[in-house]
Chains A and B, each alone.
Chain A
Amino acid sequence: MSKINGAQSLVNALEAAGVEVMFGIPGGAILPAYDPIFDSKIRHILVRHEQGAGHAATGYAQATGRVGVCIATSGPGATNLVTPLADAQMDSVPIVAITGQVPSAAIGTDAFQEADIRGVTMPVTKHNYLITDPADIPRAIAEAFHIASTGRPGAVLVDIAKDALQKETTFNYPKSVSLAGYNPVLEPKSEAISDAAALIAQSKKPVLYVGGGVIKADAAKELMQLAEITGAPVVTTLMARGAFPDSHKQHLGMPGMHGTVAAVTALQKADLLITLGARFDDRVTGKLSTFAPNAKIIHADIDPAEIGKNRHADVAVVGDLKNVLRALVPATKVALAKSAPDLTPWLNEVYGWRNKFPLGYDKPADGSVSPQYVIERIGKISGPDTIFAAGVGQHQMWASQFIGYEKPRTWLNSGGLGTMGYAVPAAMGAKVGAPDTTVWAIDGDGCFQMTNQELVTCALNNIPIKVAVINNESLGMVRQWQTLFYNQRYSNTDLHSKRIPDFKLLAEAMGCVGLRCERPGDVDKTIEAAMAINDRPVVVDFNVHRDAMVWPMVAAGTSNDDITVARSMAPVWDSQEL
């Protein structure tokens, strides 16, 4: 076998792993790898900040289901990847990060651009490697892709010492990966399936509590089958928007802190939660001890550690959700054939809540633009084939609430870590993975100022994303909390971003088209103008009313029973509903 250097072995391994694109920035320790990258068939997209590379890899992975790849040098290059690694790991997104490390003889000496990135990322990755022998490179890459993409997906980092990239080696990519300590359970136990089916057949008030795992498992079709044979109402968490069509009559929308009254209340009043790839996150449960007090829990997840972590499961089903649902659908059919409780009273109740407490918003009295209206119109005009990537904050909640999602992998956001600045680079990654699909970043003016430099990357690499900056000139969600809980003392949330920067000029300076919209009557035509541009990225500065708030709301640490539909306003229930 011919001798090559470790860097060539790395690039060969990435090609063998099926990588088509990676996002990164070269630097001293990773420099040997960039020489063979120059000749590789793998597309390398030169980003402007390593954080952008990491979120782009995440957006690519969320949009396509394939593993996203980012690459950076040692020290600051690697530490700039920490946030996107933590972000991807929290949201179970498969990404692999390659980092250069100082030469092995210099490790531990506080060398120039040295950071113990394996140590740093240990708590925020699914697994990681430090490679000092070039012979280990192909195996580490094969294992990294295997670990990132199987079981509960996650982030894996491979740190490679510079001398391992420079030394001679032979390339030998393993045909298969076998790890003594890693064998995810994919097939559910048949007893668990029959126990789950039996509980479903006894339930008079079931709810399908659907999490992001359904999208990860590509199990939306199977979910639809279970929903239709049971007739149970469905709620989709922030990570699961698109797993079940918003237009479906059984869909109650999103549960949680800013969920719909119907979704939140259905969980509270249910006698059974059929939990599929969700993790009883605090943003969904509110005060845990008061969450769904009368419900038995079926908890299906590929990660056994999620079961019983926050809420005791009456029936635990460990397995890949596609397999779980493929087994559960026929088992439930059989169980329901024997006894099927009449769900009509329950459905009347929950659909009554949905009709009575729909999502809504007030038009600002001063005639300024309502942020919810902008987002709603982008959703309507762009349509359900569009991929939407949101930042974090009010605009994210509105984008989840007021855009109708019909398909999996059309809604990308940072759910677990809540990473401001996620939207632009994630949209870039999604557009690279789905070049024929319209990709909108719905961003806030605060978020946008964290990572907008990647629009340069988009402009130079023909990645024509569209960005809606929902500009309320403040850190809107923080401001909302200050309004509600801190006596309107707006400490450090005023960004002045209707004045500085000029987003239109900034966009144009970065090679994008810059548009601005300041009047409600201009919203549609501005969106249509943005939709008509396909040769460059577009940024639209939507100047919106700054006092708009996200409703409904369950205040942090309180019970879901205390949901408010507007400030200090509990839903007005009919007496029989209480």
Chain B
Amino acid sequence: MAIHTLAVLVENSPGVLARVASLFSRRGYNIDSLAVGPTENPKVSRMTIVLNLEGHALDQVSAQLFKLVNVIGISEMKDSDSLKREILLVKVANTPATKEIVKKHNAVIADESPAAISIEAVGQSSAIEALLAELKPHGIRELVQSGLVALERGDKTLADRTLSTMGTANESDPNSSTADYQN
């Protein structure tokens, strides 16, 4: 499995998104999705990056990312111990069949006109995909999707751990999961 999700705490400073994007571009790492937004600390932003790392070791990607001066902490968000959500907004024809699908998937009709409904759905990638698969035969007129965001389960926070000692890329098998990069 070459898909990994990284949560990255960065300083909320100008150019930081460009630095991250530039690093991934020049080292040939493929980004599937990237979501960036504010956190509980106004000086810190959080990126959730979904990576397709065919041919690259996650350790190496994390180590390169951590070299960026504005990157404060990195942690891999594993399916087993994190909440992952994406948002879907999709416009389909306003028919009893499409409305039935919305109901079945616990989605929301966020906007309705005589000819179309705009559906809002929040969920894991698999749930979003399932909803889309059912809507597809009815004709998808327009859709927009957010990048995935992820939060660790339990009482720990990524920000707490950024105060602990920094891990490094050493001593682990390149195929194993990344060490946490923290300052």
Show the binding face of A for B, using Cβ within 8 Å.
118-119, 122-123, 126-127, 130, 147, 179-183, 185, 192, 303-305, 307-309, 312-313, 316-318
Tell me which residues from 60 to 74 in chain B have a Cβ below 8 Å from any Cβ of chain A.
60, 63-64, 66-72
The answer to whether A181 and B171 have CB atoms under 8 Å apart is: no
What is the bound-complex CA distance between A307 and B60, given in angstroms? 8
Query: Which among B10, B69, B71, B169 is the interface contact of A304 at CB below 8 angstroms?
Result: B169
* CA of A313 to CA of B60, assembled, Å: 12
Q: Which residues of B contact A179 (CB under 8 A)?
A: 69
Contacts of B60 in A (CB 8 A): 305, 308-309
Q: Which chain B residues in 66-98 approach chain A with CB under 8 Å? A: 66-72
A419–B143 Cα distance when bound, in Å, is 49
> Cβ of A305 and Cβ of B170 under 8 Å apart?
no
Write the nearest CB–CB distance from B81 to chain A, whole angstroms.
24
* B30 neighbours in A (Cβ, 8 Å): none
Chain A hits for B57, CB < 8 A: 308
Distance between A395 CB and nearest chain B CB, rounded to angstroms? 31
Which residue in B18, B64, B66, B183 is a CB contact (below 8 Å) of A180? B183
* Complex CA distance for A317 and B10, rounded to whole angstroms: 26
When chains A and B are docked, how far (Å) is the Cα of A303 from the Cα of B19? 19
Interchain Cβ contacts under 8 Å between A and B, 19 examples:
A119-B15, A122-B18, A126-B69, A130-B14, A180-B11, A181-B10, A181-B71, A183-B166, A183-B183, A192-B170, A192-B171, A304-B66, A304-B168, A305-B67, A305-B169, A309-B60, A313-B170, A316-B169, A317-B170
A213 CB to nearest B CB, Å? 15
A307 to B59, CA, bound (A): 10
A316 B168 Cβ-Cβ under 8 A: yes
Q: What are the 6 tightest A-B residue pairs by CB atom distance, in nearest-first order?
A: A316-B170, A305-B63, A304-B168, A127-B69, A181-B72, A182-B69
Number of interface residues of B (CB under 8 A): 29
- CB proximity of B149 to chain A, nearest CB, Å: 21
User: Bound complex: CA of A318 vs CA of B171, how far in Å?
Assistant: 10
- On whether A308 and B59 interact (CB within 8 A), knowing A127-B69, A181-B71, A192-B171, the answer reads yes
Residues of B with C-beta under 8 A to A317? 170
Hey, which chain B residues are within 8 Å of A192, CB to CB? 170-171
Q: Are B69 and A312 in contact (CB under 8 A)?
A: no
Q: How far is the CA of A305 from the CA of B170 in the complex (A)?
A: 9
The docked-state distance in angstroms from the alpha carbon of A413 to that of B89 is 57
Q: Which residues of B contact A313 (CB under 8 A)?
A: 170
Residues of A within 8 A of B170 (CB): 192, 304, 307-308, 313, 316-318
Indicate whether B139 reaches chain A with its CB closer than 8 angstroms.
no
Closest to B183 in A: A183
**Is B145's CB within 8 Å of the partner chain A?**
no
Q: Do B63 and A312 touch across chains, with their CB atoms under 8 A apart?
A: no
B22 touches A180 (CB 8 A): no
Bound form: Cα–Cα A366–B25 in Å: 52
- CA separation between A122 and B19, bound complex, in Å? 7
Is the CB–CB distance between B18 and A119 below 8 Å?
Answer: yes
Out of B10, B64, B168, name the residue touching A318 (CB < 8 Å): B168
B174 within 8 Å of A (CB atoms): yes
User: In the complex, which of the residues A122, A123, A182, A316 contacts B171, with contact meaning CB atoms closer than 8 Å?
Assistant: A316
With a cutoff of 8 Å between Cβ atoms, the chain A residues found around residue B69 in the complex are 126-127, 147, 179, 181-182
Contacts of A119 in B (CB 8 A): 15, 18
Given contacts A305-B66, A305-B67, A308-B60, contact A123 B168 (CB under 8 A): no
Complex contacts, A180 vs chain B, CB 8 Å: 11, 72, 162, 183
What's the minimum C-beta distance from A182 to chain B, rounded to whole angstroms? 5
B104 within 8 A of partner (CB) = no
| Nearest CB in chain A: distance from B9 CB, A | 9
Chain A nearest Cβ from B54, distance in angstroms: 17
Q: Closest approach, in angstroms, between the C-beta of B58 and any C-beta of chain A?
A: 11
- Whether a CB of chain A sits under 8 angstroms from the CB of B26 is yes
Chain A contacts for B23, CB-based, 8 A:
123
Tell me the bound Cα distance from A180 to B11 in angstroms: 8
Write the B10-47 contact mask toward A (1 if CB under 8 angstroms, else 0). Answer: 11001100110011001000000000000000000000
A38 to chain B, nearest CB (A): 32
Contact call A181/B14, Cβ cutoff below 8 A = no
CB-CB under 8 A from A316, the residues of chain B are 168-171
